[in-house]
Amino acid sequence: MDFFNDYLQKISYSIKTVDIALLIQASDLIKKTNEKGGKIIIAGNGGSAAIASHISVDLTKNAKIRGINFNEADLITCFANDYGYDQWISKAIEFFADGKDIVILISSSGESKNIINAALKSKELGLPVITFSGFASKNKLKSLGTLNFWVDNKGYNIVEMTHHIWLVAIVDRIIGKVEYSV
Query: E strands within 63-176?
Result: 67-69, 102-107, 129-133, 147-150
- Tens-of-pLDDT digits for all 182 residues of the chain? 899 999 999 999 999 999 999 999 999 999 999 999 999 999 999 999 999 999 999 999 999 999 999 999 999 999 999 999 999 999 999 999 999 999 999 999 999 999 999 999 999 999 999 999 999 999 999 999 999 999 999 999 999 999 999 999 999 999 998 766 55
Q: Using a cut of 0.85, tell me whether the model's pTM lies above it.
A: yes
Sign of CA dihedral 90, 96, 105, 103: positive
Residue 94 near residue 87 (C-beta atoms within 8 A): no
Nearest residue to 33 via CA among 177, 174, 178, 180: 174
Domains of the chain and CATH, by start: 2-175 (3.40.50.10490)
Nearest residue to 132 via CA among 96, 159, 97: 159
